[in-house]
Each structure stands twice: as structure tokens, then as C-alpha cells.
Structure 1
């Protein structure tokens, strides 16, 4: 029986590696499709749970939360910036004692404490 040349062995191994890579690529594609389907289902179910009053606000949010310019123009703003915007709103919108009278009262209390010292 003649001996198989090195070149034939290398070619055979290369075909096996190529077939394996193709199989992995198909599996990766299936995984991403499953993830995409799960995310789409999650988004749709979240929207369906909204009340009638919240639908226009959600629609407006999705339409306006896009990068206005730059390399990401037209894409949705990243989750990082969405979280930063939410933190800003929570810190500034729900501050305690933001009225002028309450600030003046706090200032007067501090002045009286300083005078006592």
C-alpha cells in the first residue's frame, strides 16, 4: 500500500478545519437568531403591557432616542447614555426642597447656626 504524501494529509486536514469552521459559523448564526428573537419577543411583550396612556410616550421615546450626528447617526442611543439620562432625571427631577421658600428657610437656619457658634 503506497504511503500518503504530506501534501495530501495537509489538504485533508485543511478541508476538515474548513468544514469545522463552517459548522461553527452556522451554529453562531443560529445562536444570534435565537437571541434576536428572544429580545424582539421581550420588547414586543413589554410594549403590549403598556397602558393606552403610556403608548404615545413610549413611541416618542423610541423615535427620538437616536444619535443626531456623527458615526452612529440614526442609531439608538447606547444603554450607557440611556442610564446616564435616567440618573440625571432622577437626581434633578425628584430633589427635595427645591422651591425658593424652602431654600431661603434652609439658608436662614444655617445663618442662625453660624451666629450661635
Structure 2
């Protein structure tokens, strides 16, 4: 009798928000392969785009603070602004409270945050 060893296969899943880096922002991927390792029909699967979303919310102490999340969404979800809701849910799980205002990396507010972060880094290097 011979023993058969079966290799365990894991599906190639999209990275979670915790695994994503800012370099991952804007990359797209298709849905994961089937668990049996069989190829899936990618024509039926929507492409997922990863966006950086900023949420201005209240901390438990009542102070306003920015929370940043990497959120995966389809083009349809982005058009319906559901990616902003996903980021707000992530902020709630992390302990942030309402009121919340969210915006993604493509908004004017996000560009202003980049400018402010650059100015702060500039001021810190001069100090």
C-alpha cells in the first residue's frame, strides 16, 4: 500500500487592507481562483481597484482625527460611493465614532492633505 500525499492549495486571494501598502493603491485585480485550483472565468468577475480612503471621525476621547484605510471596490461600487461607506465601517471597527466624513485619494481634500503633509515634513527638517 502506498500513501498518497495530497498537496493543499490555497486560493490566490486579493490582499487585505492590512497587507496592502500605499504602493498597492490604484492596482487592480480579479477575483480569487476557485478553492479546487480550477481556473475561473475572469469575464464574469469584476475588477477590484484598491483606493486609499481618508475618514475624519471622532476618537473615543471626542477629538477629531483622520483614519486611513485601503479599500477594494469595483467600478460600480466606486461610482455609487460604497467604498467610502466601507472605510467608515472600518473606522467604526477601530473605535472611531460619528460624525464621520470620508473622501478618497482622488478628491481635492486628499490632494490638500498631501500638500499639508509635505509642508509639515519641510518644517520638521528645518527644525
More helix by share: 1
Q: What TM-score, normalized by structure 2, do the two folds share?
A: 0.22
TM-score calculated relative to the size of structure 1? 0.23
**Structure with more of its chain in strand, by fraction:** 2
**Which is higher, the Rg of structure 1 or of structure 2?**
1
Q: Which has the higher contact order (CA 8 A, sep 6+)?
A: 2
